Structure 1
C-alpha cells in the first residue's frame, strides 16, 4: 500500500471505498469528486484484497504477502 488508509490519514471532507478488484477510490464531499489518488500522498492505493467470481459470495482473496502461515 502506497499510503496509510486509516480515516485519520484523510482530510475531514474525504472518505474512501474499495472496488471489486481491490483498488481504493477516494471521495471528496466538498468538491463532489472521486479520484484513484490518496488526497494527501497523491499516490494510488490498493487494499490488498480482490473479490473474485470463482470464490463463494462474500469471500475475498487476500493478495498481501505477510510471510509463511504456520500450521
Structure 2
C-alpha cells in the first residue's frame, strides 16, 4: 500500500506523502488491522488537504475499521 502511494504522490505532492507516512509510523497490529488503519490515515490526510484547498466540497468517507 505504501509503495502505491509513494508512486502516486511523489510526482504530485511530497508534503501530502510526508504527512501520510509520518502518521503511519505509529500503526500497529496484524496485517489486516494495519491496512485498514493506513487507509483511514490516507483518507484523513487527503480530506484535510482538500479542506485546505476548497470550501464547501463533499469529502470522501474513510473506510470503517
TM-score range, shorter chain: under 0.3
The TM-score, its normalising length taken from structure 1, stands at 0.25
Larger Rg: 1
> TM-score of the superposition, structure 2-length normalised?
0.26
Bigger share in helix? 2
Asked which structure has the greater RCO (Cα within 8 Å, sep 6+), the reply is 2
* Greater share of strand: 1
